[in-house]
Amino acid sequence: MATPKAPFTRETLVDFWRMRVEETQAYYRKATEEYRRLLEERLGGTPHDPNGALALARQVESDALAEYCRVLRAFTDLTVNGKMPEQPAAPNGL
């Protein structure tokens, strides 16, 4: 017999979203480090390739920043304003 799931409490949601903020922040930092590393290599004389590693790294960094901002906004709304997030955010490949 399956046990019924307990409803989310504000405390469990805060913990969940705090964890998501930390995950997305770490992902963004890693993406930024990789982009900067590739940028330094390019400045060393590598020609620009719009489909190359540098362009891809820049896109990953931008996507990571957008996700971090979205999660941080949801966390802030929850903790400061008591506004429940519309849907729980699952990690996006983090």
- Chain centroid to Cα 91, Å, comes to 8
**What is the tens place of the pLDDT at every residue in 42-55?**
776 666 677 788 88
- Chain centroid to Cα 28, Å, comes to 6
**What is the tens place of the pLDDT at every residue in 29-85?**
999 999 988 888 877 666 667 778 888 999 999 999 999 999 999 999 888 888 877
The residues spanned by each domain of the chain are 10-81
Instruction: Quote the CA–CA distance of 10 and 29 in Å, as a whole number.
Output: 28
Are 12 and 84 within 8 A, CB to CB? no
Residue 76, SS3 per DSSP:
helix
Residue 9, SS3 per DSSP:
coil
